[in-house]
Structure 1
Amino acid sequence: MEWANVDVLDEYLLHVIAAFPRKRKPAFLYAIVTGKRTGQAVQDSHLFDVTRFFGCVPMMRQRYFDARLGQLRDAGWIALDEDGVSLLGVPESGFAERFADLDGFSFQSRTAPFFERLLLAVQVFSNWKHERKRYLPIVRDEETQFVVKQWLGHLLQERTRNEARTAFYRELAMWLQDAKADLYVPRFSGGDYIGKTGLQVAGELDMEPWAYYFEWLDGLHKLLAQLERFPMLQKLLPDATRELTTSAQETLHLLRQGLDTERVMAIRRLKWSTIQDHLVEIAATVPDFSVGAWIDEAAVDGVAQGTWQSLKEIKEAFGELDYFQIRLALIVKRSGAKCN
């Protein structure tokens, strides 16, 4: 298989496969690329520094993923057997360097909702300018419409419509000056203009669809990582807890009510091992979550200084830590969780 015949999705899949030092089952790799926050996926994405590429294609169906692996196998890039997937050779594609701002673990479930809200906000402000009171919202999702309506209501408590629109476009222009504007501007709607789909924009730019998608995603992740510069846009970003599994969200809700883990276990009728998985997921996802009840800063620093291939290696080096503490230590430094 010539590298010229490999598209950007193939590059992404090969990059993820290459990140793990031993064979991995297709089900595990599917969890990584679609962002399924199983205990193993959360743990190993941090252990092998794959968090940036975690969940970059959350919409991918299992059947399509399996077909793409089959194509890579048939083309000679991977071996695929009952033991898992292994690489037969990976050319230097520069995928990680080209998409240096990807941060899938932080934003996988929030990127698309943020962009949908942004599309609707642009349409509303544009129609205010054109004094159009009747139009079909470009985004039909009711939750998106509700959030944007609330957001606009808060803005208008402090500003006039013109002031709000001017401030919004100032932030939008500031972002687009540093972004690849031709990826985003044709998607916006307003007045009589209906924004294009991603596929339409890709065609106009003569880009293959997956190349457009990853450029679009990379640019949005860069924006989301620095939203403190854009206070109006920042309020369109869903809360980080959206990234959690539903079960972990329920555990976090009880913890925030002041209940200890034993009480949470009793209320939810869950084993301690399941609560441990939730705590690791929460610590990896929710900024400023405190893990001080289970591990201290010294242990985190000790684990962070090493390069590890398995939890067993860490256990041999830090015999005083149990595996739950080791899992927490792996994720704390990156996630911003606190040890106090």
Structure 2
Amino acid sequence: MNSYLSYIILYVFYKYKGERTSQAVYYLLKGKQSAQVIQDSHFFHVYKFFGIFSLIQIEQFESTHQELVLNGYLVELEQKGYYIVTELGNQFLKESKMKFPTFSNLNGLKNRKPSEFFWKRYSLFFQTVSNLNKNIRYFKPVQQDQQIINWVKTSILSLKKKKEEIVKQFFEETVKLLKGIPTEEANLFSKRLSGSNEFGLTSQQIALELDEDHWLVHVRFQAILHSILSILNKNKSSFPMLSIFIEQINQQTSTQTALETKKYFEKGLTVKEISQRRGLKESTIEDHIVEFAIYDLDFPFERFVTVEELNKIIETSRNLKTLKLRSIKESLHDDVSYFQIRLALVKLGE
């Protein structure tokens, strides 16, 4: 019972405060790319856990969820499918806090996709350079994604340097990069790498070696990748070679259909105009715009809601101690729209 998976599932239920279903918790941890899940992750301050267990099966989730109920840590509300954390559950969260960190640098909503791309590129590049260094031309690539394989080939050719120069610069920058994170995390990152004639360990193998919970090791590794992304984004000039590994991946955070909407949004078109251009419902366009507000630090809220309306919505949410759109709307009557409430909740979650 005392597993990291149990802890995180219970923690998310705690943050949702009985306002979202168990299915919503599963979708968050799975990283479902839907407007509702993305918005909830921001509204309820659980964005760091978005998609951190992307490979979890519904059976694994349900089994752990039911165990939390049977142990008295969760209790179902009258509204079926909704749960709140009990006093016993709160005690478990407090006692487990030191053992199970939530990682301040973890941000699944922002970094899950970019970190996946980075790791695929980096791990294959590392393997390729290691083999080049020993004049080994043929090896089984650790990444089978043809897009990644092509990227590594193209990147090595585009460097227009001798093999020895590529190897030297790559490893020098890697050492410099890993000095920017704690030694234990750097060691864990290194254990995952495959070189020439040697294969990196999986999270489960590392967990056995370190005698740690394998779910915890899995999330630790993601947090490491998120830290690396942050270092590279802030210091591109210090890592001229490694900085190419994050090129054209940061825009992968939004859904593809939202990115299409963004082209019109940036031209200043209204929700109605974008809806007509794209042949989509206005509510769908509003979903996309709320998504932009979550990711864009400079989002122009004033295009849709005044400062007075923002403050009124935020104050109402705080007074009612809820993020339920209907409850806020009923309190404010027809003064604001659901769309404006959602935008205000994005502002509240910053």
TM bucket, shorter chain: 0.7 to 0.9
Equivalent residue, structure 2, for 1:322: 337
Mapping for residues 36-55 of structure 1, pairs under 5 Å: 36-55=32-51
Mapping for residues 207-246 of structure 1, pairs under 5 Å: 207-227=212-232, 228-230=234-236, 231=239, 232-237=241-246, 239-246=249-256
Mapping for residues 201-212 of structure 1, pairs under 5 Å: 201-212=206-217
Q: Distance in 2 between matches of 1:267 and 1:9?
A: 44
Q: Distance in 1 between matches of 2:149 and 2:296?
A: 26
Equivalent residue, structure 2, for 1:173: 175
Q: Distance in 1 between matches of 2:155 and 2:272?
A: 39
Q: Distance in 1 between matches of 2:210 and 2:254?
A: 35
Identity level (%)? 27
Q: Per the alignment, do residues 327 and 120 of structure 1 end up closer, same or farther by CA in structure 2, a change over 3 Å counting?
A: same
Return the match for 1:113 from 92, 117, 134.
117
Return the match for 1:139 from 125, 136, 143.
143
Q: Per the alignment, do residues 261 and 74 of structure 1 end up closer, same or farther by CA in structure 2, a change over 3 Å counting?
A: same
Q: Distance in 2 between matches of 1:318 and 1:298?
A: 16
- With the length of structure 1 as denominator, give the TM-score of the two structures: 0.83
Matched, 1:185 2:190: yes
Q: Is the 8 A contact 2:43 2:348 kept in 1?
A: no
Q: Distance in 1 between matches of 2:225 and 2:97?
A: 20
Q: Distance in 1 between matches of 2:301 and 2:164?
A: 46
Query: Unaligned stretches of 5+ in structure 1?
Result: 336-340
Letter in 2 for 1:183: L
Q: Per the alignment, do residues 85 and 235 of structure 1 end up closer, same or farther by CA in structure 2, a change over 3 Å counting?
A: farther
Letter in 1 for 2:290: V
Q: How far is the alpha carbon of 1:314 from its aligned partner?
A: 6.1
Mapping for residues 1-340 of structure 1, pairs under 5 Å: 5-80=1-76, 82-88=80-86, 89-90=89-90, 91=92, 92=94, 93-94=96-97, 97-154=101-158, 156-157=159-160, 159-177=161-179, 178-179=181-182, 180-227=185-232, 228-230=234-236, 231=239, 232-237=241-246, 239-255=249-265, 261-285=271-295, 290-291=300-301, 293-295=303-305, 307=318, 309-310=322-323, 311=325, 321-332=336-347
Q: Is the 8 A contact 1:47 1:309 kept in 2?
A: no
Larger % of helix: which? Answer: 2
Q: How far is the alpha carbon of 1:76 from its aligned partner?
A: 2.3
Letter in 2 for 1:99: F
Q: Per the alignment, do residues 84 and 298 of structure 1 end up closer, same or farther by CA in structure 2, a change over 3 Å counting?
A: closer
Aligned length: 329
Once the two structures are superposed, residues 24-75 of structure 1 have per-residue CA deviations (whole angstroms, 9 ceiling, x without a partner) of: 3122111222222433333332222222222221222223222221222222
Q: Per the alignment, do residues 42 and 197 of structure 1 end up closer, same or farther by CA in structure 2, a change over 3 Å counting?
A: closer
CA RMSD of aligned residues (A): 3.1
Query: Unaligned stretches of 5+ in structure 2?
Result: none
Q: How far is the alpha carbon of 1:257 from its aligned partner?
A: 7.0
Q: Per the alignment, do residues 284 and 136 of structure 1 end up closer, same or farther by CA in structure 2, a change over 3 Å counting?
A: same
Q: How far is the alpha carbon of 1:12 from its aligned partner?
A: 0.8
Q: Is the 8 A contact 1:261 1:275 kept in 2?
A: yes
Q: Distance in 1 between matches of 2:164 and 2:345?
A: 48
Letter in 2 for 1:168: F
Q: Distance in 2 between matches of 1:65 and 1:149?
A: 39
- With the length of structure 2 as denominator, give the TM-score of the two structures: 0.81
